[in-house]
Amino acid sequence: MKAFTAHRGLVGPMDRANVDTDMIIPKQFLKSIKRSGFGPNLFDELRYLDEGQPGADCSNRPLNPDFPLNFPRYQGASILLARKNFGCGSSREHAPWAIEDYGFNAIIAPSYADIFYNNCFKNGLLPVILSEEQVDILFAELEANEGYQLSIDLHAQTVTTDSGHLFAFEIDEFRKECLLQGLDDIGLTLQEADAIKQYEDARAAQHPWVFGAIK
């Protein structure tokens, strides 16, 4: 997995609460058996005026001129500024895949849906949680300043603005370490293979019906 340590970049807005995973990546794109290539279909229904089809070339599709991420000033954005309960809905990891593939490295929002939040970490995408008031301040500054950039430091757990705000954020120790070092979760867990085996043997002795029935 790709590591995340610190990032400075252009901010793009998604100014609505409860953005669900169907909105992030509509279901027709889930038919792919690949992990990559979802970026052009991020926010597909909001972003384009026609209906997107999997596998189709997006470069000539009509863009929705009212969708903020289509505005020239937000092109090249790498930090997504969002509202509360971002990523609610389904468990599809295609949502963080699409966000990452589009070019975002981090998201800032007051809260996330649990599964989405978890899925971000598996893909080197940092979901930062700030308070609603702090997010309000960032939206106001973003609105007022073309070319608005933010700096995120995962080590220090801070978001800093050029205007001088410094906002600290919380993050799990384990997740932070994995992101900082770009660690592969599965490899880490397999280091505990003996403990798993031991647990499994005890469980099979105690609750034998959990084992063996399905074949």
User: Closest separation between CB of residue 60 and another protein, Å?
Assistant: 19
State the nearest-atom distance from the C-beta of 76 to another protein, in Å.
27
Distance CA 30, CA 92 (A): 8
C-beta separation of 159 from 131 below 8 A: no
Q: Shortest gap between Cβ of 36 and another protein (angstroms)?
A: 9
Distance of closest approach, residue 182 Cβ to another protein, in angstroms = 14
Strands 158-161 and 106-109: unpaired
Residue 112: closest CA among 104, 100, 121, 103:
121
β-pair type (158-161, 149-153): antiparallel
CB nearer another protein, residue 75 or residue 131:
131
How many residues in total does the chain contain?
Answer: 215
Q: Which amino acid belongs to residue 192? A: E
- Can you tell me the distance from the alpha carbon of 203 to that of 149, in angstroms, rounded to the nearest whole number? 52
Nearer to another protein, 162 or 185 (CB): 185
Inter-residue contact 110 to 87 (CB < 8 Å) = no
What does the binding site for another protein look like in residue numbers (CB under 8 A)? 16-18, 20, 22-23, 26-28, 30-35, 45, 51, 54-55, 84-85, 88-94, 96, 111, 113-115, 118-119, 122-123, 172-175, 177, 185-186, 188-190, 192-193, 195-196, 199-200, 203, 207-215
In the bound state with another protein, the residue whose beta carbon lies nearer, of 72 and 212, is 212
8 Å CB contact between 43 and 22 = no
Which residue's CB is nearer to another protein, number 53 or number 163? 53
Closest distance between another protein and the C-beta of residue 140, in Å?
A: 14
Closest to another protein by CB, 25 vs 150, is 25
How near is the Cβ of 40 to another protein at its closest, in Å? Answer: 16
How far is it, in rounded angstroms, from Cα 94 to Cα 38? Answer: 7
* C-beta closer to another protein: residue 166 or 197: 197
